[in-house]
Structure 1
Amino acid sequence: MGVGRAFTTADRNAAAAVCRTVERRGVPITVAAHDAAAIVMAAVTGDLTAAPGLVLLEVVPLAPRTLAALDQARSDRSPMLAITANERPARALGSVTKASLEITPESAAHWIAHAGHLAMTDPRGPVHLAIGSGISRAPAMPLATSVRPPALSPPAPDDLDAAAALITASVHPLVIAGVQARSRADAEWLRAFAETLPAPVVSTPKARGVIPEPHPLSLGVLGRHGVVAELVRLADLVIALGLDIADDRAAVPSSTAVLHVARTDLSLHAYARARQVVGDIGLILEELAPRLRDRRRADWDVAELDRFKRALARERGATDVSGGIGEVVALAREATPAGAIAVFDRGVVAAADRWTCVLPLDLVAPQSPTSDGFAVPAALAARLACPDRPVVAFTDFTGLTASLPELATASHLGLALVIVVANDTDTRIATLPETADLRTFAIDSDRSRAEIVARAVELAGPSVIDVRIEPRR
C-alpha cells in the first residue's frame, strides 16, 4: 500500500498497541496535539503522495472536532485510513467516512487491503478501521491479496467515437479540469490535449495547477460570476476532465453541451446535455488523439483570450483580501521556486487567488472549511511528505491560536517552513510562548514585506511572519 508515515496524538493509551504494531513495520509515527490535527496531517499526506494517509485515533465515540476533521477530509476527497482501537465499527463514522470496517485476525489482510483500495478509489476519501486492542496483538492469518486498486476498464470504442464527434463539431471548446485529473501523468496529457485543440482551460479550486496558471490557455478558476463565468458562457462544448460529483454544476449553462471524461460514472450527476467516457483520463485522451488528427482547429480568437487573461489578472489584483495579506501571498510566490506548496486556513482562503500554481497540488486548502487551525498541521504534513518542496502556510490569528501546539512540533522536527499570520489583533506573535523557539518576523509596512518574506523562505528551520493588518469590521 506504500503508507510512509502515520499520525496519532500525544495521549494514545487506547491506541498504544496499534501504534507499536505500526512502528514494528518500520512506519514512522508523528505525534500531534489532538486528533483533529492528526487527521489533517494524514489527509494532506494522502493528497500529496501515492498512498492513503494513516491516522491512529483513540476509542470512539470521537469528539465533535474530530468528526468534523474527518468530514472535512471526506469533502476534500483526501484518501486516508483512520484506525480506532475499539471492538466494532462506529455508526457515527458512517456519515463522515466512505466506510467503517471491523478487523478480525482472520480477515485483517483482506479488509485492510480493501480499505486501502476504497480510500484511493474515486471519489477518494477516508475509510475507518475498527481494531480491538486484543486483535492488534493477535497473529493474523496470512493471505495473498493486492494492495493496489484494480486497474480501470479501458474506455469503450463507441464512447470514444461519440466523444471525438462532439469535439470535432465544436468551434469554441472549453476544458474544465477537475480533482480526478491532478496526477502528473493526467496533467501532462491534459496540457497536450488543450494545446492541440486549442482550447482554454479553467480549473475547479482543487485542480489548480493541473495546467500551469501562467500558460496562455489557463483562464482561472470555475465560478458563477466574473471573467471566468463570461468565458464559460461563450463555449459551445465543455470538456470536463475529472470533475467530481460535488463540483458546482450551476457554473456551466444548462444549454451548453458537456463531455465528461472521468474515472467514475457521473451519469446520475451530470449536466442535462452530456455524454461521458469513463476510465483512466490519460488513456482516454491518448485514445482520442488519433480520432482527432484531421479535425479543424478550434476557432477561439487569440486576442479575445488574451483580453480574458488580462481581465482575470485585474480582477484578482483588485481584491484586497484581509487588509493586504494577498500582497504577501504574491510576494511569497515570487520568493519560492516552482513546486513550492502553499497551505491556506479558512480565514485567509480568499487570498489563495494570489498564489500562482504551476504544478498540480501546489496549493492545499480545505473545501468549504468549517473550522480553524488547518494550515499549520497541514503544512507540517506537506513538508514531511515532500521534503524537497518549500512549504508556506497562510493563516490568521484565530487559525494560529487553534494550532499553537503544532508550532512546537515544527520546532522539534526542525522543519523548514514559513507560517504567515494575518494578525488583526494587538498581540505580537513573538510574545506568544509557543513561538519562543521559532524565528519570528513582523511586517508593519509595505516597504519591509519583500525583504522579510525572502529572508524567511531561506531559513533552514520554521519561521513565523507576523503581518499586521487592519481589524475586520
Structure 2
Amino acid sequence: MTLTEALLAELARRGTRRIWGVPGGGSSLDIIEAAPRFGIDFILARQEANAAIAAMADAELTGAPGVVLTTKGPGVGNAVNGLACATLERAPLLLLADGFTPKQRSWVTHQYFDQRAMTAGVTKGYARADAEAPMAGIIALLDEAEAAPRGAVHLDLTGEAVRRPAQPVEPVQSMAPHHQPEGDAAALLAAARRPVLLVGVEAANATDAAALRRLAETLGCPVLVTYKAKGVLPDAHPLYAGIFTGGTLEAPCVGQADLLIQVGLDPVELILQPWRYSAPILDIALRPHPVRYATPTAALHGPLADSMALLAPRASTWTAADIAALRDTALAALEWQGTGGVSPPDIVRIAQREARAAGATPRVSVDAGAHMFSATAFWQCEAPRDLLISNGLASMGFALPAGIAAAVHDPARGAIAFTGDGGLMMCMGELATAAQLGVKLVTIVFNDSALSLIDIKQQQRQLPQSGVRFTRTDFAAVAEGFGVKGLRAEDPAQYAAALRQGFAHDGPVLIDVTVNPAGYPAQLQAMRG
C-alpha cells in the first residue's frame, strides 16, 4: 500500500466521503486517481478558499474530517481564509497541499515560500509526509483536527512521498483529557428559580441536542441559541426563546435569569461587546475556554450529554406565556421598517413557505452581512445543522460553497443559500461548480448594491458615504452565463413565483431579489444596541 492509499484509507475509516479542491500537477493527481477506490469523491471547485469552506461545511454535516486539496504556493495562499473559517467555526479540516522536497528546496525559488509558516496562525497542526514514519504523523494530525476545539490542520505532500510504500502503524487509542468539575453545579441549580439556557456550537449534534431538550423540558425555562446552534432545540418548541449573540435583542430574557446555564457555548460565537449580566454562570462545555467574556461560577467540562446527565434539574417558575412573550417581542423588533423591493424578513419567510408548499425541506446556508439578521431569526430550524453559517470568523463568501456542500451531502433535501450581493461576488465562480454538479440549490441574492452592514456603521459614525456601494449587478444574467437558471424579483409576488419555479427546477437556480436597505439600521440597533 502506498502512502496515498494509506492516507485515503484512514480518511475513509473516519467517515470522509469527499475531497474538495483545485489540483496542481504533483501529489494532487495521485490523490485524485486513487480516491474513488476508497469511496471518496473529488469535487473540483473554482477557487481554493471556496473549496475549503465547502469542505468545512461537509465536516459540520458529517462529523468527519473535511478535506481540501491544493497545489503548492498560490493554492495554499488562496486556501488560508477557508482554513481560518474552519478553525474558528470549530470544524475538523485537513489541507492536503503539494510541497517541495528537501532537494528541491536547495535550488527552487519559483512559487516557494514557507507554507507551514503561512498557515500556522490559522491551523492547529502541521506535518510533512516525507518525515520519519509519515502515517503515524498523519494519524496524529487528524486526531488533532478532531480534538476540541476542532479545527484545521495542514499536511504537505510531495509527489515523491505519496508514491512510497506506507509503513504499518500500530493503532493508538487516544484519550480525551479529563477535567475536574469546578465549583458546585448542584448547589447553583438547586437555588435557581428562573434559569436560562444559552446553547452554542458544541451542542450542534443529535446526541447533545437530545440531552439538551430533556434538560430544558425538565427545567421548563427559556432556551436561547447561537447562530450555529440553530435547531438544537426546534424553533417551534415552546421553550425556544430566540437567538443569543451577546447583544441587545436577548437582554430582556437573559436579564431576568438568576442562573445562566451555558451548554456548548464557545466565546468565539459572541459579538464584540462586554458581558452585561450579573447572574451566576454554570458552564457545560467540552473544555475550559482560556479567553472568555465572563468567568463561570461552576463548570462541567467533557462530553456535553454526560455532563447534563449529572445534573438534577427541577421545574423553574417560568411559564409558557412568559417565554412566548419574550420570543414574540424579539421577533417583532426585527420586523422591517422600510418599503420597496422585498423586505429581508419576507425573503426568508416566503422562501420557507414556498419550500413547504413544494414538499421541500432544504437546509440553508447564510452569508455574513446585514441580511443574516433576518435569515437566522426567521428561518425555522428543526434539527442541528439545518442552518449553516460562518459565525466565529463571520466570513463573507460562505453561503454559496456551503450551500453546494449541503446539497451534495443530502441531494433529497437540497439547499438554499441566502447571500448578499457583496458576498456572492467573492465566490461567484462556484456557480459553475453548482451547474457542473447539477445540485438542487436555490441561491437567493439580497441585492441592494452595497456592503450594507459596513454602510450602516459608516452612517453611524457620520462619515461621508464612500467605498461601500456597488454599481448594480444583474446576477440572474451572470448565473445564466454559468449554466444556472437565473430569475429576478422586485416584489413579493414576483419572488414567490420565482421560488415556485426554483423548487420545481431540476438543478441549481439563482433568484436576484431587489432589496431596499433602509430597514437594516433599525434591525442592527435592535440586535446589538
Q: Distance in 2 between matches of 1:87 and 1:65?
A: 18
Q: Distance in 2 between matches of 1:93 and 1:248?
A: 25
Q: Pick closer, same or farther for the CA change 1:398–1:10 going to 2, 3 Å.
A: farther
Q: Pick closer, same or farther for the CA change 1:418–1:320 going to 2, 3 Å.
A: farther
Q: Distance in 2 between matches of 1:251 and 1:331?
A: 36
Residue 200 of structure 1 aligns with which residue? 222
**What is the deviation of 1:14?**
5.9
Contact preservation (8 Å) 1:18, 1:85 = no
Q: Distance in 2 between matches of 1:233 and 1:251?
A: 14
**What is the deviation of 1:77?**
1.5
The answer to whether the aligner puts 1:314 opposite 2:337 as a matched pair is no
Select 2:244's aligned residue among 219, 222, 233.
Answer: 222
Q: Distance in 2 between matches of 1:313 and 1:268?
A: 31
Please say which of residues 129-138 and 353-362 is displaced more in the overlay.
353-362
Residue 381 of structure 2 aligns with which residue? 357
The answer to whether the aligner puts 1:429 opposite 2:475 as a matched pair is yes
The answer to whether the aligner puts 1:260 opposite 2:283 as a matched pair is yes
TM-score between both structures, scaled by the size of structure 1:
0.89
Q: Distance in 1 between matches of 2:502 and 2:23?
A: 29
Residue 287 of structure 1 aligns with which residue? 310
Q: Deviations over 1:410-452 (max 9, x none)?
A: 1221111101112335443333275463222221222222232
Identity across matched positions, percent: 28
Q: Pick closer, same or farther for the CA change 1:369–1:248 going to 2, 3 Å.
A: closer
Residue 498 of structure 2 aligns with which residue? 452
The answer to whether the aligner puts 1:420 opposite 2:469 as a matched pair is no
Q: Distance in 2 between matches of 1:121 and 1:160?
A: 21
Query: What is the SS of the residue equivalent to 1:329?
Result: helix
Residue 276 of structure 1 aligns with which residue? 299
Q: Distance in 2 between matches of 1:149 and 1:350?
A: 41
Letter in 1 for 2:500: A
Q: Note the 1:98-247 alignment, pairs <5 A.
A: 98-104=124-130, 106-145=132-171, 150=175, 153=178, 159=181, 162-247=184-269
RMSD: 2.8
Q: Pick closer, same or farther for the CA change 1:329–1:177 going to 2, 3 Å.
A: same
Q: Pick closer, same or farther for the CA change 1:305–1:115 going to 2, 3 Å.
A: same
**What is the deviation of 1:252?**
4.7
Contact preservation (8 Å) 1:343, 1:375 = yes
Query: What is the SS of the residue equivalent to 1:277?
Result: strand
Residue 54 of structure 1 aligns with which residue? 67
Q: Distance in 2 between matches of 1:413 and 1:302?
A: 46
Q: Note the 1:2-151 alignment, pairs <5 A.
A: 2-9=15-22, 11=24, 13=26, 15-60=28-73, 65-87=78-100, 90-104=116-130, 106-145=132-171, 150=175
Letter in 1 for 2:192: S
**What is the deviation of 1:138?**
0.5
Q: Note the 1:357-436 alignment, pairs <5 A.
A: 357-367=381-391, 372-424=396-448, 426-432=472-478, 434-435=480-481
**What is the deviation of 1:197?**
1.0
**What is the deviation of 1:79?**
1.2
Select 1:299's aligned residue among 317, 325, 328.
Answer: 317
Q: Pick closer, same or farther for the CA change 1:20–1:106 going to 2, 3 Å.
A: farther
Contact preservation (8 Å) 2:421, 2:447 = yes
Letter in 2 for 1:468: T
Letter in 2 for 1:342: V
Q: Pick closer, same or farther for the CA change 1:182–1:152 going to 2, 3 Å.
A: farther
**What is the deviation of 1:362?**
1.3
Query: What is the SS of the residue equivalent to 1:387?
Result: coil
Contact preservation (8 Å) 1:171, 1:299 = yes
Residue 467 of structure 2 aligns with which residue? none
Contact preservation (8 Å) 1:179, 1:242 = yes
Letter in 1 for 2:444: V
Query: What is the SS of the residue equivalent to 1:373?
Result: coil
Name stretches of at least 5 consecutive residues in structure 2 with no aligned partner.
1-13, 102-114, 450-471, 521-529
Contact preservation (8 Å) 2:23, 2:69 = no
**What is the deviation of 1:94?**
0.8
Q: Distance in 2 between matches of 1:231 and 1:370?
A: 25
TM-score between both structures, scaled by the size of structure 2:
0.80
